[in-house]
Chain A
Amino acid sequence: MLPRLIPRLEKRQTPSKAMIYLSPLLAIFLTLISSVVLFLIMNVSPLEALHAFFIKPISTIYGLTELAVKATPLVLIGVALSLGFRAGVWNIGAEGQLILGGIFGGATALFFYEKTGFYIIPLILIAGVVGGMLWAGIVAFLRTKFNANEILTSLMLSYVASLLLNLLIHGPLKDPDGFNFPESRLFSDSALLPILYDGTRLHIGAIIALLAVGLGWILLSRTLLGYQIKVTGDAPAAGEYAGFSHSKIIWITLLLSGGVAGLAGAIEVSGPIGQLLPTISPGYGFTAIIVAYVGRLHPVGVLFAGLLLALTYLGGETAQISLKLPIAVTGVFQGLLLFFLLASDVLIHYRIQFGKQGAIA
């Protein structure tokens, strides 16, 4: 009979707790195996390719610091997004909040051009937080007031943010001596984040990211707010019954994730970039969503996931330089990782059944 041959997913009664945490490792393992096949097809030694991807980029101190620089915005935003995702608040627009933070932080840096003072950098970072919160606040307002879907509003606001940055960089924030090129002045030294290790780009933002991991963990596991977030996400009805205000959770998680994304933006412009450019982020806000999920929406997991994703970017460059592999391999890599993660998640929560529902009881 035909229905017997059509596979169907049936929810498992009790998904294995161990497997939920093991699934990222399983996904990494499967990604490695399939990439070996991929490299064999491409006629590249898999051992050399994997070495170029995962070992060579971090075989020097410089490489390690670059990994931290690349992972900083991913971890920061990933941690903040996890809080919202845990509560079932889908902030997809961290990219826009990051850009707003960059604009606010960058404008502050330019305001203090050629001035010195210990207060400049804190002001830049605070401005970044405010910028990100403002952008996420719009989303929270639209959601709580008009029940507008935050996935759509936050995503669309990302494009608005990008255009706003372009507008400013072509206008008031443009370098007056820059031949009309759309770039701001280079920030003064007083507006650049302190470097932690001389001769590298490792800046103080990396420590802020680690702090965010710690604070995120404490918030989720040790505070009432963390408990409310989890309950609201897992069982919204139970949360309401317990008297947790849903709109309060929406506001808090959006402002929190927006503020942190904005902070990441300010850190990027006053850290490794050092000026405002038409594009200040190669999509960190979107990649951080992957980071949050690969990290199981847990701050410590996010830290590792951020490092892993950052490593694939660095590895992609190394593979291009030393093995002449095309950049598309990096994309395939990241795609495989996400695919296997989602696939194992599905199989952890569901089992494949053949035949009619209930036929095999």
Chain B
Amino acid sequence: MKLRNILAVLIASAALTACGGGEKAADKAKEAATETATKVTETVKEKVTEKVKEVVKGKSAADTKVGFVYVGPVGDHGWSYEHDQSRQALEKALGVKTTFVESVPEGADAERVITQLANDGNDVIFTTSFGYMNPTLKVAKKFPNVRFEHATGYKRADNVSTYSARFYEGRAILGTIAGKMTKSNIIGYIGSFPIPEVIRGIDAMTIAARKVNPNVKVKVVWVNSWFDPGKEGDAAKALIDQGADIITQHTDSPAPLQVAEKRGVYAFGQASDMKSFAPTKQLTSIIDNWSDYYIARTKAAIDGSWKSTDTWDGIKAGMVVMAPYGDAVPADVREMADKVKASIVDGSFHPFQGPIKNQKGELVVKEGETLGDGDLAKLNWYVEGVEGSIPK
């Protein structure tokens, strides 16, 4: 209102001057008026920007709210459990307020839940499953001032970042251990959905296992779910019946480990340390650790340095952590696994470095070459040693 009043007065005075003092004067007055008007607009603009900055900066950690959307129950002891552990770590580290909604189906409901969190005044919202990708983007469009962080997706926007972990690095360590410890040379792998993320894990493990034991074969059973203890347990039983003496899974419940413990075969934990479910049979576990990322991103949102980014970190950055070895892992195998881990961290080894052959035995990645991030992001073929075909 004020700005408009000032402009009106200026224009009126300019017009008056114009009437009184000929064309030149009128031109000058016009110029002056335009100049003043521009100046006024600029000052107002600056002031508004300052105000906005103040508001953003003025938001202390204690006023900052961070929301989380989980695909499973927080008690799944796997994927959602670890996200929730990291949420608690974030709350402790920065003193921000956090909320979460668990077991949100990946469909029409996700958009409503994310909207509700945004409406509820959350400044940063982490949506922690692939299926939330499009809903997250839809909601982000309506809330340009809220920062969104989507796990494992590939679509970004000005206020939507993506993040994921290089779990395949951990799979290479599992593969090394499995290759050394299997007697039947059959490793059972329980898959959730045949997406690049899961295929990468299967391939990385197979490559690593066959490096130490060329006779290893990997059998895959798909359960078409991220969390279904019943199906996961049945899949483990089926794989053991087919001769697998080491079980690993890319699903979120500890059911396969319970089956392994009962049937006397080895297994690896997934997403969190699942030792309590297979005290004598868990060899190690890939632990997802999102805490550092959640803390860093929330800090960035508080101090105003948040930008849309694409993060894909592994063992080196601490996003992928290996659980302590089980008692059953002999010293020489531990040493070997430690070496693989160290070489991944110092960059001298990449789980997808050539030579890599596909199922037909054709050389796909030559010696000295490495599969790049772009190819890894859309990986859709099995390496030599994996049995069966990818469901199409």
Rounded to whole Å, the gap between the CB of A285 and the closest CB of chain B is: 13
B107 touches A321 (CB 8 A): no
B392 touches A170 (CB 8 A): yes
B224 touches A166 (CB 8 A): yes
A179 touches B116 (CB 8 A): no
Decide yes or no whether A62 CB sits under 8 A from chain B.
yes
A313 partner residues in chain B, CB cutoff 8 A:
109
Complex: how many Å from CA A327 to CA B119?
20
Rounded to whole Å, the gap between the CB of A57 and the closest CB of chain B is: 9
Closest B residue to A199 by beta carbon equals: B142
Decide yes or no whether A150 CB sits under 8 A from chain B.
no
Complex: how many Å from CA A237 to CA B102?
50
Decide yes or no whether B378 CB sits under 8 A from chain A.
yes
Complex: how many Å from CA A280 to CA B116?
21
Closest B residue to A73 by beta carbon equals: B108
A317 touches B112 (CB 8 A): yes
Decide yes or no whether B312 CB sits under 8 A from chain A.
no
Complex: how many Å from CA A313 to CA B105?
12
Complex: how many Å from CA A179 to CA B378?
5
Q: Chain A 300-332 against B: per-residue CB contact (8 Å), 1 yes, 0 no? A: 000000000000011001101110101100000
B134 touches A320 (CB 8 A): no
A321 partner residues in chain B, CB cutoff 8 A:
67, 99, 101, 116-117, 120
Complex: how many Å from CA A181 to CA B377?
11
Q: Which residues 344-392 of B have a CB within 8 angstroms of A?
A: 377-380, 391-392
Complex: how many Å from CA A182 to CA B195?
7
Q: Give which listed residue, A69, A181, A199, contacts B130 with CB less than 8 A.
A: A181
A274 partner residues in chain B, CB cutoff 8 A:
134
Q: Chain A 259-270 against B: per-residue CB contact (8 Å), 1 yes, 0 no? A: 000000000100
B193 touches A278 (CB 8 A): yes
Decide yes or no whether B320 CB sits under 8 A from chain A.
no
A277 touches B119 (CB 8 A): no
Q: Chain B 100-139 against A: per-residue CB contact (8 Å), 1 yes, 0 no? A: 1111111111011101110110000000001100100000
Chain A: residues with Cβ within 8 Å of the partner, total of 38
A273 touches B108 (CB 8 A): yes
Decide yes or no whether A239 CB sits under 8 A from chain B.
no
A201 touches B111 (CB 8 A): yes
Complex: how many Å from CA A117 to CA B33?
52
A273 touches B107 (CB 8 A): yes
Q: Give which listed residue, A171, A268, A322, A326, contacts B108 with CB less than 8 A.
A: A268
Decide yes or no whether B318 CB sits under 8 A from chain A.
no
Chain B: residues with Cβ within 8 Å of the partner, total of 38
Q: Chain B 165-201 against A: per-residue CB contact (8 Å), 1 yes, 0 no? A: 0000000000000000000000000000111100100
Q: Give which listed residue, B107, B116, B154, B379, contacts A317 with CB less than 8 A.
A: B116
Complex: how many Å from CA A182 to CA B107?
13
Decide yes or no whether B229 CB sits under 8 A from chain A.
no
Q: Give which listed residue, B99, B130, B196, contacts A320 with CB less than 8 A.
A: B99
Decide yes or no whether B326 CB sits under 8 A from chain A.
no
Decide yes or no whether A245 CB sits under 8 A from chain B.
no
B95 partner residues in chain A, CB cutoff 8 A:
none
Q: Which residues 40-75 of A have a CB within 8 angstroms of B?
A: 62, 66, 69-70
Complex: how many Å from CA A275 to CA B194?
19
Decide yes or no whether A236 CB sits under 8 A from chain B.
no
B377 touches A282 (CB 8 A): no
Complex: how many Å from CA A277 to CA B154?
16
Complex: how many Å from CA A313 to CA B120?
17
Rounded to whole Å, the gap between the CB of A59 and the closest CB of chain B is: 11
Decide yes or no whether A97 CB sits under 8 A from chain B.
no
Rounded to whole Å, the gap between the CB of B172 and the closest CB of chain A is: 21
Rounded to whole Å, the gap between the CB of A55 and the closest CB of chain B is: 15
B106 partner residues in chain A, CB cutoff 8 A:
277-279
B392 partner residues in chain A, CB cutoff 8 A:
170-171
Rounded to whole Å, the gap between the CB of A338 and the closest CB of chain B is: 19
Complex: how many Å from CA A183 to CA B109?
16
A186 touches B107 (CB 8 A): no
B108 partner residues in chain A, CB cutoff 8 A:
69, 268, 271-273
Rounded to whole Å, the gap between the CB of A143 and the closest CB of chain B is: 29
A279 partner residues in chain B, CB cutoff 8 A:
105-107
Decide yes or no whether A247 CB sits under 8 A from chain B.
no
Q: Chain B 297-335 against A: per-residue CB contact (8 Å), 1 yes, 0 no? A: 000000000000000000000000000000000000000
Decide yes or no whether A154 CB sits under 8 A from chain B.
no
Decide yes or no whether A23 CB sits under 8 A from chain B.
no
B107 touches A62 (CB 8 A): no
Decide yes or no whether A180 CB sits under 8 A from chain B.
yes
B194 partner residues in chain A, CB cutoff 8 A:
170, 180, 182
A186 touches B105 (CB 8 A): no
A281 touches B107 (CB 8 A): yes
Rounded to whole Å, the gap between the CB of B223 and the closest CB of chain A is: 11
B102 partner residues in chain A, CB cutoff 8 A:
320, 326-327
Closest B residue to A273 by beta carbon equals: B108
Q: Chain B 269-304 against A: per-residue CB contact (8 Å), 1 yes, 0 no? A: 000000000000000000000000000000000000
The 14 listed contacts between A and B (C-beta, < 8 Å) are A62-B115, A62-B119, A171-B392, A179-B195, A180-B378, A180-B380, A182-B193, A183-B134, A268-B108, A279-B106, A321-B117, A322-B120, A324-B99, A326-B102
Instruction: Using A170-B194, A170-B392, A279-B106 as known contacts, list a sample of 5 further A-B pairs with CB atoms less than 8 Å apart, ordered by residue number in A.
Output: A62-B115, A166-B224, A179-B378, A186-B134, A320-B102
In order of increasing CB-CB distance, the 9 nearest A-B pairs are: A272-B108, A282-B105, A179-B378, A180-B380, A320-B101, A171-B392, A273-B108, A327-B103, A181-B195
Which residues of A are at the interface with B, using a C-beta cutoff of 8 A? Answer: 62, 66, 69-70, 166-167, 170-171, 179-183, 186, 199, 201, 268, 271-275, 277-282, 313-314, 317-318, 320-322, 324, 326-327
